[in-house]
Amino acid sequence: MKSVLSLFTLICLSALLAAQVPKQPFPVKRAETAETWKRDGWAAVDRAKATRPILPKKGKKMNVILFIGDGMGVSTLTAARILEGQLRGESGEENRLSFENFPYSALSKTYSTNQQTSDSAPTMSAIITGVKTDANILSVNQNVVNNDYRTVKGNETKTLLEYAEEAGLSTGIVSTARLTHATPGACYAHTADRNWESDADIKKRNPAAYAASFPDIARQLIETPFGDGPEVLLSGGRSKFMRFDQTDPEYSDKHGERLDDRDLIKEWVSKKDDSKYVWDKMKFDKINPKKTKRLMGLFEPSYMRYEFDRKNDKAGEPSLSEMTSKAIDILSRNKKGYFLMVEGGKIDHGSHAGNAYRALTDTIALSDAVRTAASKVDLENTLIVVTADHSHTLVIQGYPARGNDILGLVRQVGSDGKLEPDYRKDKLGLPYTTLSYANGKGYQGETDKQPAGPKKCCEDYKTAKPNIYGRFDLSDVSTDDPDYLQEAAIPLTGETHGGEDVAIFAEGVNAYLFRGSMEENWTFYVMADTLGLAR
């Protein structure tokens, strides 16, 4: 019995010691010397000198593709860049997301007319209309009072999509959020509350507006007075377009929510010939762009899934790259040109949840979509813009060594220039991660309630012991598990946006006009000038 116990103790001790061995950094894949850095620096100068501005040509059709990484702040870009490289087994720091290779960039100031740190409604409204506005309202000026439908009329601000439709260009919206959510909704709707996505939402939030039949966001898409509305709509949020008595085609326990007895999906399809509607990947894949003039794809009742979770959808969901590719194929048939807005909406949701893994992998998915778009278009007549509407509070901290796991615990290079044998400890004697959020769900007392399921990170927390001051000992916690929530300094039910500037990256026609520190609404004017609209 003693020998069995001794063997068991030895096994447990060995497992414990193995678990506590610090992870080795990811390797730097190329040889680096002083000459390497000099060569790279001069090569960058030469590339910049060789870059020539591409100007719009009179009489030639022009296209604009606007990519919005919702909540894709600079720290999110940095961490996603490193993670993408590390997923390939590289150190990651030297990696570049696809759009980081674009020749022109700038900084965008994201404050709204009444917010220092803004929500998505006024920020996207500024980008798509050229007019900054107040919190929580869509594509109306700051004279509109939030939640007061009576103040909307006469204060609408026309969007770039509406200008394009009016001029006979084709237009499209692609998003992993709901089609009626703030960023997509700002492209076509004018409302005093971003949350009025369906008439049921209005009835719940403002009975007076409901009684007055103020048009909800989904309804405004169908009833647009500009052209025949967008030709391509690929997103989530089909419940906002379905009657409350209609059963969802994918989930038998879910239904639509409209109270006005209107099936807006059917209305959209019947509006024009050659219009098609799909709700799963199989039907989406069968769509022939050469034979389809108008396509609506609504792949979830609410938001689409994170890129990491798409594989779990039985009906299947197309990737952001696949939706972008098909949208371009359909829109590019118009000889007058097109405008396409593509949103990586789940980047924002990942950070709000305090879940860096999903925020970063969805940022990588956006980068893949940009790469796809850039490979399909002629940059002599197309402007590609990649930016964010606002930032988040993701923090990259400590002094981790080169190649340190971006999702892992901080391991530093010591004063002797060598990698330290153990993780760095805080003043409480506990290790800490490179990534954290300034606020949100990952605060102590919440971390032991991490996402449910047979995930290693959640099992880890059941045995992890909190320090007397509240922090858990993360030595044996799987911080790189997709379900792990990064620690947060300030306890909130959801992480907030960040107020610092965000980046703009541009390539193609007029891309050289993005430079320096720009007001967020200036992006509209560069895009409008490219299309020859709105002046």
Instruction: Tell me the sheet residues that pair with 263.
Output: none
Q: What is the DSSP letter of 51?
A: -
Residue 144 region by backbone torsions, left for phi larger than 0, else alpha for psi between -120 and 50, else beta: beta
Are the C-beta atoms of residues 287 and 299 closer than 8 Å to each other? no
Q: Is the CA virtual torsion 530, 533, 534, 535 positive or negative?
A: positive
What DSSP string describes 472-517?
A: B--TTS-TTSTTPPPPEEEE-SSPPEE-S-EEEEEEEBTGGG--SE
Listed in sequence order, the DSSP H helices in 51-132 are 74-87, 120-129
Does the active-site annotation cover 239? no
Q: Which of 75, 105, 118, 120 is catalytic?
A: 120
Q: Collapsing DSSP states into helix, strand and coil, what is residue 178?
A: strand
Are the C-beta atoms of residues 238 and 224 closer than 8 Å to each other? no
The CA distance from 380 to 60, in Å, is 10
The CA distance from 415 to 418, in Å, is 7
Q: Collapsing DSSP states into helix, strand and coil, what is residue 109?
A: strand
Rg (CA), the chain: 25
Q: Which of 347, 353, 299, 302 is nearest to 322 (CA)?
A: 299
Strand order in the sheet with 435-440: 394-396, 435-440, 488-491
What the block records as the tokens of 374 is: 């850039």
Listed in sequence order, the DSSP H helices in 344-418 are 346-352, 356-376
The CA distance from 422 to 425, in Å, is 9
Q: What torsion do the CA atoms of 23, 85, 362, 185 make, to the nearest 10 degrees?
A: 140
Residues annotated as part of the active site: 120
